[in-house]
Structures are given as C-alpha cells and as structure tokens.
Amino acid sequence: MNVIETKNLKKFYNEGTELEVRALNDVNLSIKQGEFTAIVGPSGSGKTTLLNIIGGLDTPTDGKIFIDGKDISKLNENQLIDFRLHHIGFVFQAYNLIPVLSAYENTELIMLLQNKPEQERKERVINLLKAVGLEKQIDKRPAQMSGGQQQRVAVARALASKPKFILADEPTANLDSKSTTQLLDIMKKLNEEEGMTFIFSTHDQRVIDRAKRVITLDDGKIIQDTSKQKN
C-alpha cells in the first residue's frame, strides 16, 4: 500500500516573472509503508521543498499529494495542522527542541496536544527514550545534552504521535561520525523491527548507504530512482 503518493507535483516561486524558480517540476512519486528512502541531489534540487510539501509544511503550486489516500493539497491551514499532528513525524537538522523542557517533556508534548491520557503518555515516553538510548537523560534539558543526544530526543518526539511515517530533513548534518552511526542504527532498527517508514532528505553518504531506496532529484525533477537488493 502506498502511504505517500504525489501526482504531477509542481512548486514554483516568483511564478511568471524573470525570477521564476521551479523548485519542483512534475514530480510523480509513490512510497510504500515500511520504506527507508533517501532523497538526494545537489543543493537547490528540490529535496527540502519536496519533504515540506509531503509533510504539509508547504503547499504545491499544482498537482496532488496523497497521504494514506487523502489528498492533503486540498486542506486549509488548520486542517493541515491537525493532519500533521496525527499522521506525520518530523526530524529536522536543527533538532527544534524546546529549551526549557526536559527530554521527557519534549517527547511528551505532541501527545499532550493530541489529548492522550497521562498514563499512556508516560508509558510511551519512557519506552521511546529507552528505545533511543536516553533513559538516563530523561530529566535533562537540551543544553545539558550533546548534539547526538538532542537529535535522538527529536526522533523519540517524532515517533510519539504514532505517525504514518517520519520525514527527516538532513538529520545528521550537525552530528559527528559516532552520533550519526548511533542515530542511523536506531532508525534502521525501528524501520526493520516495527515497519516504521522513513524518508530522508540528505547529502550524507552514510545515510545513502543504509537506505533501501535512493531517489535523485535535479532541477526539481526525479532523474533516478533506485531500489537496493536485500542482503
């Protein structure tokens, strides 16, 4: 089953002027449940724009984007906010943790917004922080943690809502080699053992090497789509 499908997706900036930029130009893409996919390409190729549109953070100029069969290109801003809250997990390059909240509180926040019961929140947060190896950092705030630890909190937070998939925009860009390996190990384990779908935008060869599928963008178009053989 396709969890994500785009049809003739276009995103133009400064449309109809001399400064027009075609960030995405007729992108057709299907991603199935359980994929571990890297979207690659040079800077300006459209990677982040594609992730933002899939995630409902931006709207297309033309075309359609289906999540679980629902055309989110027709949703208004409030509907998109609600849809993101319940269906999509995000991991950003800059972590985007709330500085005054602990690892526990940052992970719990999205479930508070979803009005989940306290006991359900507590059990899921603790289990998620254990899954990303941070059970001993549970009460620490972002400033008390390393970059790698903060990014692992971001992964736990992204998973807290039980999303259909995780969108990760350059998640290893600010991490050292050890932290990158640890983070990718966690994500790969979640993918293989729990069937969690991950879509990365990345320049990082370490991410690309682990991906099951690599989609290459250039000038807003898919120029290559390669699925790797299973070992």
Alpha carbon distance 56, 122 (integer Å)? 28
φ/ψ of residue 188, rounded to 5: -65, -40
Which residues have C-beta within 8 Å of that of residue 185, sequence separation ≥ 6?
none
In this predicted model, what pLDDT tens digit does every residue of 97-124 receive, in sequence order?
999 999 999 999 999 999 999 999 999 9
CA distances to 41, 85, 140 from 147, in Å: 25, 25, 13
Alpha carbon distance 139, 155 (integer Å)? 17
Sheet holding 36-40, edge to edge: 88-91, 165-169, 197-201, 36-40, 213-218, 221-227
Domain count for the chain: 1
Q: How confident is the model at residue 14 (pLDDT cuts 50, 70, 90)?
A: confident
What is the b/e burial string over 170-201, where b = at least 16 CB atoms within 10 angstroms of the residue's CB?
Answer: bbbeebeeebbebbbebbbebbeeeebbbbbb
Q: How confident is the model at residue 20 (pLDDT cuts 50, 70, 90)?
A: confident
In this predicted model, what pLDDT tens digit does every residue of 122-178 receive, in sequence order?
999 999 999 888 999 999 999 999 999 999 999 999 999 889 899 999 888 888 888
Closest Cα to residue 158, out of 117, 124, 207, 107? 107
- CATH code for the domain in which residue 134 is found: 3.40.50.300
Write out the two tokens for 82.
Answer: 């609600």
**What is the predicted pLDDT for the residue at 229?**
67
Q: What domain range includes position 175? A: 2-227
For the CA atoms of the chain, what is the radius of gyration? 18
Q: What is the pTM of this model?
A: 0.89
